[in-house]
Amino acid sequence: MAFSGEYEAPVRKKRIRLPTELQAGLGNRFFIVGLPFWPFLALYPEASFDQMMESLEDGVSPVDPVFINVLPQLGARSFPILVGEEGRFTIPSNLQTFLSEKMVFVGSGRTVRLYKADIWRVRSQEDSAYLQKLAEHLAGTDKAQEKEAKSGKH
């Protein structure tokens, strides 16, 4: 399932309500991951999380840096979440630095990202500016290709 949409939600007593539009795809049990260099928490459906971990472990030797460094860091920052009454769940204590009073759930393909609302607003504006430049670039490239096609050049 591909997740989409943007949903603001308040945090109360380290608990947050999962939007019903996202709960259908995440289910009542999912994994939450927060790596120190991410500006968000990632929510993975259980099967997607298992698949990601298996793909990281496949063929990895005990002396490989992925085995030595990445897997333990990922494991220490990943938690199974059970969704409770009214779609609420608690953010694990060592991931609470990612929280603010207002959060935004953002559909991101196979995962859901959970941002602090102020970080998401800035990020969204930056991403919009980038997407505008990309669209302009692609439009310019398309115009150049049209000119070449009309002039008979390939």
Once rounded to an integer, what is the mean pLDDT over residues 128-154?
Answer: 68
Has residue 140 been placed in a domain? no
153 domain-assigned? no
Domain-embedded: residue 68: yes
Residue at 123 is within a domain? no
58 in a domain, yes or no? yes
* Spatial separation of the C-alpha atoms in residues 26 and 150, rounded to whole Å: 50
Question: Is position 45 within any domain?
Answer: yes
Domains in the chain, number: 1
3-state SS, one letter per residue, for 4-69? CCEEEEEEECCEEECCHHHHHHHCCEEEEECCCCCCEEEEEEHHHHHHHHHHHHCCCCCCCHHHHH
84 part of a folded domain: yes
77-122 residue pLDDT tens: 999 999 998 999 999 999 999 999 999 999 999 999 999 999 999 9
Can you give the CATH number for the domain in which 27 is found?
3.40.1550.20
> Residue 56: which domain range?
6-118
